[in-house]
């Protein structure tokens, strides 16, 4: 008997735009990272992020209130399931940030220069990622989304900004 694997076409999901309430609410932990629905959501979020030319996208930005975000930076893809920041540097840096849920908005945000993130990968295995510079900033931005903290809450007023 021949079995065919079905390959679902990835879907481009609509981006949730602020002030939608889902963006201000803490997301729910994913109990089974191996669930086929979670795997499908990962692919859909990646496709949506790429189509919208983003470097990171959290599940609640596509209307799903679960602790999942994807990041693609410098040729590497990071799948972060149930991520949490485990350590942060004392040093902070102010840079201008943008967000797909805030079209046309760019604001200065102060973030930790280095962080360590604990998460599960798409297989459910615990991973620890040490990040600095722009990757650390992207992770903090996406984890803030999962915690219901839009980046406008972190805007730095009256500071000089590196662009």
In a domain, 13, yes or no: no
Q: What is the pTM of this model?
A: 0.92
In a domain, 15, yes or no: no
Q: What is the predicted pLDDT for the residue at 158?
A: 74
> pLDDT tens digit string along 101-120?
999 999 999 999 999 999 99
In a domain, 1, yes or no: no
Q: Which of 37, 97, 118, 142 is catalytic?
A: 142
In a domain, 50, yes or no: yes
In a domain, 128, yes or no: yes
In a domain, 14, yes or no: no
- Count of domains for the chain: 1
Do 61 and 101 form a contact (C-beta atoms < 8 A)?
yes
For residue 45, give its domain range: 21-154
Do 8 and 37 form a contact (C-beta atoms < 8 A)?
no
In a domain, 88, yes or no: yes
In a domain, 84, yes or no: yes
Instruction: Provide the CATH number for the domain around residue 89.
Output: 3.90.45.10
Question: What tokens appear for 87 in the block?
Answer: 């350590």
Q: Is 142 designated active site?
A: yes
Do 39 and 122 form a contact (C-beta atoms < 8 A)?
yes
DSSP letter string, 62-103: GT--BSEEEEEETTEEEEEEEEEEEEE-S-EEEEEEE-TTST
Task: Report the phi/psi class of residue 29: left, alpha or beta, with left for phi > 0 and alpha for psi in -120 to 50.
Answer: beta
116: Cα within 13 Å, side-chain hemisphere:
7
> pLDDT tens digit string along 18-46?
999 999 999 999 999 999 999 999 999 99
| E strand or H helix that includes residue 130 | strand 126-132
């Amino acid at each position: 008997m021949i079995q065919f694997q079905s390959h679902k076409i990835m879907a481009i999901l609509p981006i949730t735009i602020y002030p939608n309430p889902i963006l201000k609410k803490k997301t729910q932990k994913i109990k089974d990272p191996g669930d086929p629905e979670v795997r499908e959501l990962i692919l859909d979020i990646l496709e949506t992020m790429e189509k919208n030319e983003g470097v990171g996208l959290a599940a609640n930005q596509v209307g799903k209130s679960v602790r999942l975000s994807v990041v693609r930076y410098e040729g590497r893809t990071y799948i972060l399931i149930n991520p949490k920041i485990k350590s942060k540097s004392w040093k902070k840096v102010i840079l201008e940030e943008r967000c797909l849920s805030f079209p046309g908005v760019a604001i200065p945000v102060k973030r930790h220069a280095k962080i360590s993130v604990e998460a599960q990968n798409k297989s459910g295995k615990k991973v620890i990622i040490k990040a600095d510079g722009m990757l650390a900033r992207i992770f903090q931005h996406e984890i803030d989304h999962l915690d219901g903290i839009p980046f406008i809450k972190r805007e730095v007023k009256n500071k000089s900004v590196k662009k």
